[in-house]
Structure 1
Amino acid sequence: MSQQPGQMSVERATETLFPTVIQISQLSNATEFNKDLMQKVAKLRKETPNGRPDSWTSSVYTTLNTADQLHLMPEFAELASAIMGEANSFADTLNLAHNQYPLRIKDCWVNIYGPKDGQEMHLHTNSVISGSYYLKVPQGGSGIVLHSPFTDNMFEPPLAGINALNSGAAELPVEEGMFVLFRSWLKHSVRPSPVKQDRISISFNLMM
């Protein structure tokens, strides 16, 4: 490359530090697994009051606060085992000392989003790993929106365009049979559902 008189040659490199790590997994046997789970969730919904906190603005059905220990129920044992497998794999990736301080599921509950139901931005306190398993995702349904942990701390300058290095949020598309895991400090939300069919997920937190 030509160099003008008086100009210095500069070598530049860009490094990505402190990444926000997300683990995405897809079950190979999801169809049969989900069929069985759907029956159990339908029964649970009939028998369990909506545990939706008063602070939530949508009418989403949740067993948070009413049946949030699904991992201890025999009928959800296979799901609990799958959650632990995913969590331990994620802990390996993050190099957490989970062999010395084993992970355990703290809580696990169902969320059913109807038309126009969404979820405000939030995080999960007193946990290490959080995530969701997607049981039913209608075509065109909402994904999960993940929010940068840095946007609340600093003034945001005007941007010429949005990309992966400056975005404050990103929506991750989800599919039936998918696990999404992340560190519990990561803020996330669900945009209001634009479709008429229910979107069903099972969320969970783990601690050490």
Structure 2
Amino acid sequence: MAKTLYFPTALWRIEGALSNALSDLEEACWMIEDGDRAGHDWCEAEGYPGYTSYASLDDLPDRHPAFADLLKVLDAQALAFARALHWDTGTARLHCDSLWINILGEGGMHSGHIHPNSVISGTAYVAMPEGAGRLKLEDPRLPMMMAAPPLKDDAPHKRFEYIQPKQGDIIMWESWLRHEVMASRSEDARISVSFNYSLMDERTIPLDDHA
């Protein structure tokens, strides 16, 4: 008898991808945070435990060259991830349609969610002090398991996976994968830049697009 596993869930992790750019990226994140009044107002109104530019700014690569350089790295890695997934995208290509800053302090977290209307999502980790919140990934089959019994501690696959990103890492996943950021136990800021990629027909992408 042989056991065969099907339907794997892929995670694309590039360790230390940002090692040479961390200082510039962190400086750029704090610069944006300092001047983004609309972003702070949104965070206060929504009870966000820190700062995010998600609802206020959609042009980070135009505001600081560190984000423009980051976007070039993300474009290359998103394409490599799509190829590793054996996607047939036809005439469409991957397009980063959102890029935003997240800064979380002690106790800061982000509850479970997915990223609708995207195909690849992920995060670039700019500052990850000791005790910073881990990334929690949920088995996408969980809603269908119903009466499935709990797993033993030695099970090779878990219902939830906990990943501790390192400063300088980039992690990508398919946008339907439910995930969350666990509460940070560090007094120092956890700084990251998250992103979404969608598939767009060549004819619909502006001529001045970054790629």
Q: Same fold (TM over 0.5)?
A: yes
TM-score (ref. length: structure 2): 0.85
Q: So what's the TM-score if we normalise by structure 1? A: 0.86
User: Does the Cα contact within 8 Å between 2:137 and 2:177 map onto a contact in 1?
Assistant: yes
Residue deviations 1:34-54, cap 9 Å, x none?
101111111100111324386
User: Unmatched 5+ residue regions in structure 1?
Assistant: 1-11
The 1-side partners of 2:64 and 2:126 are apart by 18
What SS does the corresponding residue of 2:173 show, helix, strand or coil? strand
> Which has the higher mean CA deviation after the structures are superposed, 114-123 or 92-101?
92-101
The 3-state SS of whatever aligns with 2:142 is coil
Structure-to-structure mapping, 1:41-190, within 5 angstroms: 41-48=29-36, 49-50=39-40, 51-52=42-43, 58-73=48-63, 75=65, 76-98=67-89, 100-159=91-150, 161-162=152-153, 163-165=155-157, 167-190=158-181
Compared CA separation, residues 153 and 60, structure 1 to 2 (3 A)? farther
Q: Shift of the alpha carbon at 1:124? A: 0.1
For residue 33 of structure 2, what is the amino acid of its counterpart?
Answer: R
Confirm whether residue 19 of structure 1 aligns to residue 11 of structure 2.
no
Q: Amino acid of the residue matched to residue 145 of structure 1?
A: K
Amino acid in structure 2 at the alignment position of 1:142: G
The structure-2 alpha-carbon separation of the partners of 1:71 and 1:15, relative to structure 1 and needing over 3 Å to count, comes to farther
Structure 1 distance, partners of 2:44, 2:118, is 19
Q: CA deviation at 1:119?
A: 0.6
Moved more, 149-158 or 124-133: 149-158
Moved over 3 A (4+): 51-55, 71-74
Provide the C-alpha distance between the structure 1 equivalents of 2:13 and 2:147, rounded to a whole number of angstroms. Answer: 29
Partners of 1:190 and 1:53 in 2: how far apart?
19
Asked if the contact 2:118/2:196 (under 8 Å) is kept, the reply is: yes
Q: Deviations over 1:166-185 (max 9, x none)?
A: x2111111001101000000
**Paired residues of 1:132 and 1:179 also in contact (CA < 8 A):** yes
Deviation per residue, 1:36-90 (Å, 9 max, x gap): 11111111001113243866x5512100111133245452210110110110010
Q: Secondary structure at the match of 1:174?
A: coil
Equivalent residues of 2:17, 2:170 under 8 A apart? no
More helix by share: 2
Q: Which moved more, 1:58-67 or 1:81-90?
A: 58-67
Question: Tell me, which stretches of 5 or more residues in structure 2 are unaligned?
Answer: 200-211
Q: Select the structure of larger CA radius of gyration.
A: 1
Cα distance 1:61–1:24, how it changes in 2: closer, same or farther (>3 A)? Answer: same
